[in-house]
Structure 1
Amino acid sequence: MAVVRWRPMRDIAGFQEEVNRLFDEFFGRVPAEGRTAPTIWAPPVDIIEKQDALVVKAELPGMSKDDLKINIEDNVLTIRGEKKQEKEEEGAQYHLAERVYGVFQRSFTLPASIDPGKVKASYKDGVLVIEIPKKEEAKPKEIPIEVK
């Protein structure tokens, strides 16, 4: 009987490649053969609470403000849009295509302390910033202490 040397790291690397392939297939990445596949994507978002407002920042590079819609209904903020795919050059062959395109929608439940009537939004350098002020009664108030 021949002695076969076991190399666990090679087995782990093969397993990792298989898991990566399954994830790419499931989440709609472009397969290695270069064929396009349907994509599902959601832009990364930060939600920051300040003393007087909630600030939502979403990374949306390559989009224009006309591609975006923002809505607040029943204290739910919804950001939706479409990142349009660039026209492919005729005769060009992609060796790698990782950028994502398509329609997205993100929704976030907001606290009751916000004032949806005073929302401001701006879009600069691929970052959407939505500032949602808090209601006056929700802002912390400093109470002076009297010395007697």
Structure 2
Amino acid sequence: MACVLNKQYRHKDVPAWTIGNDKVWDQALSELFGYHLAPVRVQARPNKHRKLNDHKRRLTTRNLPHGYLVQVELPGMAASDLKISVEEEYLMLRGPQNMEHTYPLPDGVDKNAVKACLVHGVLKVLVPKIPPREVKVTSTGVDGGKNSYLIRVNVPGFGPEDLSVEVDSFVVRLKGNKEERKIEREFTIPKESDPESLQVSVRDGVLEMVLREKVVEPVEIPVKGDLPDTSEEDANTPGVLHLSFDIPGCAPQDVHVQVEGTQLSLSAERRLHKGDGNNKDTYRHKYRLPYELKTTEGMHASVVDGVFRAQILPSALAQPQKIDVEISEDSTMWKEM
């Protein structure tokens, strides 16, 4: 990775995090958590009012057996100057002068147990891993039903008592050891599956692993002839969504609206000639909601004069979960992290 210091000098072997630039945070964490980003070219311009060491922000990351450790030098900052939180699938770090960093968290971490400690201008953040879960291997056979995934492995010579299976986030590890036979395999399971549903069975030298698919039941949204009267305060609330689609020739009873996860789908049929069931037009629209639907209260849909309108209040959506992380200044805790 090349780091351009000025127009005359070019240093190819300087580690990215020794240059004072916020982008190095994202680069270092992407390497730690397995996200692949393009190399970053960092421009460092001289400032006569600052020393070079003032804008160095050394960052180190470590993948430990029990968690991910991030350590960054923040000289001159106190714990009261920083705010750390976990919001959905991201670790957020905020500080003075509009400093803000967002890092995607990997799978298999305990977001409720993140620890942070700042001592002598060095911040440590520990994101614990969820310990692997062992799954019992049976000989009774497994059946995940219609919406399921099946992994089949030939394991001749092994019985249920000779094999061990553990789930680590979306990775399944298989191990077996019997006399001179040995097996060790690792499988990545689909993100759409439920790791908690894993069942394992071995019969006649064939091992089967079955996982159920995560199923989100669609929610039906009633469509009326007009929107209900809402207070001016509700209508002007920040975050209220207003949707509008043209569906000429359709009445409320011709419109079907449902929400599945974060996707709102609308379908409507317009009959071109009365009594002719085969001669019709179909309208289809989709809209991605910012968050999943929490309740149908606060979500209203109507069709008036061939125009579909929907109003969705923030109270109807599941707002992002935010977990504030307390920043300790305990030197003993800092050394143990």
TM range (shorter): 0.3 to 0.5
TM superposition score normalised by structure 1: 0.46
TM-score by length of 2: 0.22
Ranked by relative contact order (alpha carbons within 8 Å, sequence separation 6 or more), the top structure is 1
